[in-house]
Structure 1
Amino acid sequence: MKTLHDIRLSMLDLVAVREGGTVADALAIALRTAQHAERLGFQRYWLAEHHNMSGIASSATAVLVGHIAGGTQRIRVGSGGVMLPNHAPLVVAEAFGTLAELYPNRIDLGLGRAPGTDPLTMRALRRDRPETEQDFPRDVAELQRLLGESQPGAKVVAMPGAGTHVPIWLLGSSLFSAQLAAERGLPYAFASHFAPRYLLQALQMYRQNFRPSAVLDKPYAIVGVPFIGAPTDDEAQYLASSTYQRVLGILTGRRGQLPAPVEGFMDRLDPQAQAAIADFLACAVIGGPETVSAGFAQLAEVTQADEFMIVSDVFDPALRLRSLDIAAAAMREPALV
């Protein structure tokens, strides 16, 4: 049985553009947050690929990975993830191969099979054909080949990329990627920060069907956790109203920039909207230090995760850093409660 001390702590950043702020502000906040996470001993800092969303500035994910890696010293930096259907595997291999040469042993390549955008933007990304069930497994295999040792006689070689062995992670919010990660012996990250419904079923499938590989001898699973910490439960709930507003916007098709917190926001909503937000954030840990410790402990007990990857959308950048402090302190607890 894992204790909190056994579980690594990492962060996923959507690089939120705040109301009243700019993209440049968002990028600067992301770098300061990554530097703070590094000082706290976080294992990795991932950036997520999304397109055509006014409130998210991480569309050029590989570029941003390089920016964050260049501004830090030790923390692993990667994609959480690159949406592989949007890209040719060779282009991804060359981009992340270049990053691996610039920042040795610090780059992760997390791969998702969703487009990360709307149908019109998909076409603008030159996705001019429908995806089949076999496309993603085939593209993952191609990336493994391109990032592995160059084979004699190979007609297409990723340069840079070949021989870098950039760690590949499979990401998912359903059972498909869990099964594929198990078959390939790859590490797996479940997107429970926004789609928690199949979390436990996916983890069970991954662990039961895992086949050891050259890169991993036993299953390794990351669980996404929406997180906001504050000195008190009341303040944490107040700060979380920014996230609640963002989630409601996603659910109603009215996406926008990250809004400032609003006192009593949830109380103003009808029960159906409250329930929808609660379902979306079913894995969330929000509260003061004691609530956070108990929440992390319960999640550890239920999931037996190897790593928590928090998503912390706090409007005030300084209070976001304080939130990370609280998360790190909670993970140092010696045992489950």
Structure 2
Amino acid sequence: MSTVCFPVLSVLDLVPVRDDQSTSDAINATLSLAKLADRIGYRRYWVAEHHNMLASAGTNPPVLVAMLADATERIRVGSGAVLLPNHTPFVVAEQFALLEAAHPCRIDLGIGRSSGTDPITSDALRHGVGGIESHGVMSYPQHIDSVIAMMKTSGIEMTVAGRRQTLRATAKATTVPQVWLLGASSQSARLAGQKGMPYVFGHHLGVGSTAEALHSYRSSFEPSPQLAEPQTILPIHASVADTYDEAYRAALPWLLVMLGLRTGQPQAAVKSIEQAEKIRLPPAHKQIVDAMANQWVIGGPDDARAQIEGLAATYAVDEVMIHPVSGTYEGADPRSSPGREQTLRLLAV
């Protein structure tokens, strides 16, 4: 009789900020969660890039990655993702080359294409004095190549105003970060395949084209010096507790955050479980919340693990990346996130 192997698990953290937390508290809760993931066997711990959000302190992945790498011992740490159109390729290459030099063979550079914010904040990120030109998105494929090349020992040859020079992200690199491409479309999947890069499809975003995108990635894959065959990660939202009812209650605060983003409501920090339960939603909003909850992994340990096994088998992915969305009851230490910690513990092999 054949047996189904439980997939390799990693962690995605948006550095959530609760009503009872300062930014400092949220960062400390993230560091505690990363230490736990390191101890109990998760493979990677990635942080996302979002800007001008009251519910997230994850504005600067390389700064957070430095903190996480210092706080942990074994686990790979990285960005999920650095949103390349917000940054110049050389700066990104310098940041992650230094992180890799300080923590050899433990750094992942996940690269994405979106802005991670609203149009006004996006303009502030890209177009202030000395800002990034508007063709940054159009030049995205070339910028990916530049980042990868500049982190290598040989660097990349550049010509400006008739002068040719080698650009290197750091003086004497001995190892380089593993570079991943993140996306939520078949276009990004094909780009990752054509470049021979490992790929993360944004399944947790609920866009509904996971199978199509992963097929596009695998069918277009061309081996590269970085990667001989396709490698994939599937991110999911997960809330796990002793029972389904407890897990659903714990998921409510983040369900409300996502509802607010989808319906254009005013921003707010993440509510406590008690606060979330008191909110009465209009039928249309309740329908959105129910649809999201049905796409998330919510349940007791056995059921949640079975759901994750099913997703990994359905999409034939190499890893599943857990975004632990479990909220917190009132009275918890602001520098901790007990619900998220419980989710990781209950899913650990």
| TM-score by shorter chain over 0.5 | yes
Q: Distance in 1 between matches of 2:242 and 2:184?
A: 32
Q: Distance in 2 between matches of 1:28 and 1:250?
A: 25
The residue that corresponds to 2:185 in the other structure is 174
Q: What are the within-5 Å matches in structure 2 for residues 29-178 of structure 1?
A: 29-127=29-127, 129-131=133-135, 134-150=138-154, 154-160=165-171, 162=173, 164-178=175-189
Q: 230, 251, 254: which is aligned to 2:262?
A: 251
Structure 1 range deviating more: 243-252 or 181-190: 243-252
Secondary structure of 1:9's partner? Answer: strand
What one-letter code is carried by the residue in structure 1 that aligns with 2:36? H
The 1:324/1:79 distance shift into structure 2, 3 A limit, reads same
How far is 1:250 from its partner?
A: 1.0
Q: What are the within-5 Å matches in structure 2 for residues 185-334 of structure 1?
A: 185-253=196-264, 254-262=266-274, 265=277, 268-280=280-292, 283-316=295-328, 317-328=337-348, 332=349
Q: Work out whether residues 52 and 117 of structure 2, in 8 Å CA contact, stay in contact via their aligned partners in 1.
A: yes
How far is 1:281 from its partner?
A: 5.2
Secondary structure of 1:219's partner? Answer: coil
Deviations 1:290-323 (A, max 9, x none): 2212211221222111111111122331232111
Q: Work out whether residues 173 and 190 of structure 1, in 8 Å CA contact, stay in contact via their aligned partners in 2.
A: yes
Q: Distance in 2 between matches of 1:298 and 1:162?
A: 41
Q: Distance in 1 between matches of 2:247 and 2:294?
A: 16
Q: Work out whether residues 113 and 137 of structure 2, in 8 Å CA contact, stay in contact via their aligned partners in 1.
A: no
Q: Work out whether residues 94 and 161 of structure 1, in 8 Å CA contact, stay in contact via their aligned partners in 2.
A: no
Q: Distance in 2 between matches of 1:69 and 1:262?
A: 34
Secondary structure of 2:55's partner? Answer: coil
Deviations 1:228-252 (A, max 9, x none): 1000111001111112111111112
How does the TM-score come out when normalised to structure 1?
Answer: 0.91
The 1:102/1:269 distance shift into structure 2, 3 A limit, reads same
The residue that corresponds to 2:161 in the other structure is none
The residue that corresponds to 2:334 in the other structure is none
Deviations 1:193-252 (A, max 9, x none): 223422111111111111111111111110111001000111001111112111111112
The residue that corresponds to 1:25 in the other structure is 25
> Identity, % of aligned pairs?
37
How far is 1:152 from its partner?
A: 8.6
Extract unaligned runs of 5+ from structure 1: 333-337
Q: Work out whether residues 100 and 164 of structure 1, in 8 Å CA contact, stay in contact via their aligned partners in 2.
A: yes
Q: Work out whether residues 252 and 277 of structure 2, in 8 Å CA contact, stay in contact via their aligned partners in 1.
A: yes
Q: Distance in 1 between matches of 2:51 and 2:262?
A: 17
Deviations 1:78-103 (A, max 9, x none): 00000000100000010001100111
Q: Distance in 2 between matches of 1:263 and 1:50?
A: 24
What one-letter code is carried by the residue in structure 2 that aligns with 1:238? R
Extract unaligned runs of 5+ from structure 2: 158-164, 329-336
Secondary structure of 1:186's partner? Answer: coil
The residue that corresponds to 2:160 in the other structure is none
Secondary structure of 2:167's partner? Answer: coil
Alignment RMSD: 2.2
Q: Work out whether residues 2 and 304 of structure 1, in 8 Å CA contact, stay in contact via their aligned partners in 2.
A: no
Q: Work out whether residues 14 and 58 of structure 2, in 8 Å CA contact, stay in contact via their aligned partners in 1.
A: yes
The 1:122/1:133 distance shift into structure 2, 3 A limit, reads closer
Secondary structure of 1:99's partner? Answer: helix
Q: Distance in 2 between matches of 1:87 and 1:282?
A: 36
What one-letter code is carried by the residue in structure 1 that aligns with 2:34? A
Q: Work out whether residues 97 and 160 of structure 1, in 8 Å CA contact, stay in contact via their aligned partners in 2.
A: no
The 1:267/1:119 distance shift into structure 2, 3 A limit, reads closer
How does the TM-score come out when normalised to structure 2?
Answer: 0.88
How far is 1:264 from its partner?
A: 8.4
Q: Work out whether residues 62 and 96 of structure 1, in 8 Å CA contact, stay in contact via their aligned partners in 2.
A: yes
The residue that corresponds to 1:335 in the other structure is none
